[in-house]
Structure 1
Amino acid sequence: MTTTSQSHMTNLDKNMKSVSIRNGYWFYFEVDGLDIAAHGSAYSGLEIVYINDNPVSEKRNLFSTNGTHVFQHQGKEYKVIFETTSILRGELICKLYIDGKSYAEQTKAYVESSAKGAKTFLKSFLTFVVIGGGVGFLVGYLARIFAG
């Protein structure tokens, strides 16, 4: 592998291990030689579960803090549950069940600490207020121009 592709893979690995608005939440489990990955979008509510890089379940959760994916593979029933535990911190737990038994769980958060959480929340909130106000002003201005 070349240095450039090693660097690209390292950056890709880092992006998938950390939580961000752009990359969302990635969870990884290894079960009986299978790689199970679960991805939750941080902004669209889309959740996708993969086995060996092949999507096996996809669902969009816009108005719920929990998402459940049930699927069969090689004679076993798998269940992946996404559970939001803190909206302010953006904390999400991903639980994996095999044949009804708890196998593993992982927790990731957009903001790791409460102090940092308040600052990040305020910064994001103000950004959205400014953007929302700008869009609202522009729509109102254009409506006045075209109406009169």
Structure 2
Amino acid sequence: MEYLLIAFILLVALAPLSHFVPSKRQRRQAQLREAAALAGLFVEFRPLPGSGPDTGNDPPVIYYGLRLAPSPGRGRRRSAWLRQGDNWRGVASREVPPAPLQGCPPPVLAASIDEASCGIYWREDGDTATVAVLRDILQRWQLQLDA
């Protein structure tokens, strides 16, 4: 009986530590972000382009971006496109989306470019193969920008 009581007290004492064990979803997100970093991408939380003020109710959107070399003498415009089904529409203009975006996997919500980076917004609904596809798309986009 004493051993049972000791085991119970140990379980009660150690139970709060289980809160610090990552969930399956957290482990998968860490795996995706590590794959992105190893592929040369950076990961940030960003608001979705064209969204209104943050209400706190929107699920987080993750930006996987590729840094761009400085473009002295030729300014890069800031542009963004939202995805609706298989179609893309410009956020602030009717600018045609870059050709590499046509091959985006379904979890992609939007894409944008600014002076420092080009990138894709998504909710990390995929696997490391999806990250590889996103990297390829961003690298093709980068080559198109440098041309």
Band the TM-score falls in, shorter-chain normalisation: under 0.3
Q: Per residue, is there more strand in 1 or in 2?
A: 1
TM-score with structure 2 setting the length: 0.27
Q: Per residue, is there more helix in 1 or in 2?
A: 2
TM-score with structure 1 setting the length: 0.26
Report which of the two structures shows the higher radius of gyration computed on alpha carbons.
2
